[in-house]
Homo-oligomer: A and B are copies of this chain.
Amino acid sequence: MSLRLGLVGLGTIARAQHLPAIAATDGLTLTAIASRNATLAGVANHTDLAQMLGDVDAVTLCTPPQGRFDQAMAVLRAGRHLMLEKPPGAALSEMALLEAEAARQGVTLHATWHSREAAAVEAARDWLSRRSLRATRIDWREDVRRWHPGQDWIWQPGGLGVFDPGINALSILTALMPDARLVGADLHIPDNRQTPIAADLTLDAGHPVTAHFDWRETGPQTWQIAFETDDGPATLSEGGARFTAPGIATGGEDREYPRLYARFRDLIATGHSDCDLAPLRLVADAFLTGRRHAAPAFEDHP
């Protein structure tokens, strides 16, 4: 019997990634959505989450992290399984309560990190596990006007700013090096905004790690992690889709979201949860300990 899935929030990421991934996943059927404005043909359309809960066994939240807590708690309290688009929440303290409620209800809580499912991450992990690392450098440089047009929430308190894409890099980093800890950070915050437009991080993972997130890159877009090892250099590029090392060049098609939904289905089937907060913890640490620098005002339409 197929699990009945409901989706909350029908924005860009839901339409581009979640809908096709759900359609491609055996054992899951989208039966309902909840959205204040949007509707979808062929499923039950609700404007309210509470109404939707009667129609489904499991729910995915694709809404922005600010204010998501009440929705997440309502899903869990109704005894429904819950999948969270990244970042899983606005604050670490709320995640602790969601984990406790999921355990109490005996339902699955899946905090997803889609970049961990990129095509070449597993190959990188395997290759690196047999080498000694000397240095790691993350470069995540993109044009915010191109990738987040008109998304005001990313600039609001709790919206994470450049850490919204940067947390994808940190999710890959912590998959490869679970012991990475934050040492220091520089945060560049536009005068007219609340969240950073660029950030430089120093981390320690038994070897030095730096991360450079920048939303002002109008040239080539870069999402890569470069490794120096005792066996030469290696690079995980294209957001994790491609891995190159001495004698190796591997990649594959983008199956990030289908893999997340297959995992959600399997977690439910086996009665497990997966809620790794390490990426969000590193971001919180960067805000907690980072040095703030004033950056020029930023406008969506210059």
Contacts and interface: CB of A to CB of B under 8 A. Distances in A.
Interface string A90-107: 111110110000000000
A32 interface: no
Interface stretch (A49-57, A129-137, A175-183, A211-219): A175-183
Given A69-B181, A97-B179, A281-B96, A90 B157 contact: no
Interface in A179-233: 179-182, 184-185, 189, 194
A153 interface: no
A180 to B, nearest CB: 7
Contacts of A92: 92, 281, 284-285, 288
A118 interface: no
A157 B181 contact: no
A93 B285 contact: yes
Given A69-B181, A179-B97, A284-B284, A158 B91 contact: no
Interface string A277-290: 01001111101111
A146 interface: no
Contact of A288 (B97, B179, B288): B288
Contacts of A184: 157-158
A15 interface: no
A290 B93 CA distance: 14
Contacts of A281: 92-93, 96
Given A93-B278, A181-B93, A157 B194 contact: no
Contacts of A278: 93, 96
Contacts of A182: 91, 93-94
A47 to B, nearest CB: 24
Nearest to A285: B91
15 contacts: A90-B288, A91-B181, A91-B182, A91-B285, A93-B281, A93-B285, A94-B182, A157-B184, A157-B290, A157-B291, A158-B184, A158-B288, A189-B292, A194-B292, A284-B284
Rank and list the top 6 A-B pairs by shortest CB-CB distance, nearest first. A158-B289, A91-B285, A93-B181, A284-B284, A287-B287, A157-B291
Given A66-B289, A69-B181, 11 more contacts: A90-B288, A91-B285, A92-B281, A93-B181, A97-B181, A157-B290, A158-B289, A283-B288, A284-B287, A287-B287, A288-B288
